[in-house]
Amino acid sequence: MSAHDHHDHADHTDHDHHGHGHHHAPANFNAAFAIGISLNIAFVAIEAFYGWKVNSLALLADAGHNLSDVIGLVLAWGGALAGKLTPDSRYTYGRKRAGIVAAFVNAVLLLVAMGSLGWEAVLRLQSPEPAEGFTMMAVASVGIVINAATALLFMRGSEHDLNLRGAYLHMAADALVSAGVVVAGGLALWLGWAWIDPVVSLLIAAVIVWGTWSLFKQSLHLLFDGVPDSVDLAAVDTLLTALPGVARVHDLHVWAMGTTDIALTAHLVMPDGGADDAFLQHATTQLHDRFGIDHVTLQVVREPFSQGCKA
């Protein structure tokens, strides 16, 4: 249909103008990933050695968690790089969804790591063993610096990209775990409480599970083509219906192609026609400006000829 063809031109014009930043944003984080992974691998080795040497569950658990973070960062980096691959005849959208998959796996990894930490802490509570508080505090203090610094590298991107948010949450959680280990070491030194090590570990695990749950739910939602949280579907329907000449909107779909790209398809029922380039350009611009939807495909019909899906 000619109106659909016209729109293709309008869509690409708008997308080239507005979507430019989206395609190049992940490139800014290559250095962040490389630095974060290198720092954390070094710290895992240090922390595991001293945790084993002084018999601290909190230090060993933190080392294990840090190792899961290294894997998480590798996953997130892979997702960001895969999302930048050029679309081809086999993958017409490219591999943008890799970032959503990476965020989901990151969340699962973190939840499993915390479940394991919680289980170990419960077992240790039944037979508390004294730990070297000073060593715990010294090693964990280094962890706070490394993890907080790595988290800051991803903070800028975490607001708009679910994949980067996964990396940010992982590192921020690690900084919190390290802070908890410092507290546990201090109390063990001051009061001689052997049980404080596993108790602090349990508290940390609970806080991190609570913080990670939203990332898990959101990434799972997007994996099943759910409407992104930033988009109000009823408001999108209202916007399209309010366009001049549109009687109603038919077969409306909104989904996330990746962690920063949202797509929309819809049939606009226009009994009197009138969908020229200017009309479609206006609709595309409105959808981008109000909802951040970059990939818009509008099919204009005088009479709906397909059943569509019930939204």
Kindly report the three-state secondary structure assignment for every residue of 131-196: CCHHHHHHHHHHHHHHHHHHHHHHHHHHCCCHHHHHHHHHHHHHHHHHHHHHHHHHHHHHHCCCCH
pTM (two decimals): 0.73
**Of the listed ranges 29-43, 50-64, 252-266, the one predicted with least confidence:** 50-64
Would you say residue 122 has pLDDT above 80? yes
Mean pLDDT of the chain: 81
> Would you kindly state where each structural domain of the chain is located, as residue ranges?
24-223
Q: Is 294 left (phi over 0), alpha (psi -120 to 50) or beta?
A: alpha
Q: How far apart are CA 82 and CA 105, in angstroms?
A: 15
CATH of domain 24-223: 1.20.1510.10
Q: What is the pLDDT of residue 306?
A: 65
What's the rounded mean pLDDT across residues 215-235?
Answer: 92
Would you say residue 12 has pLDDT above 70? no
Q: What is the pLDDT of residue 58?
A: 66
Would you say residue 19 has pLDDT above 60? no
Q: What is the pLDDT of residue 237?
A: 96
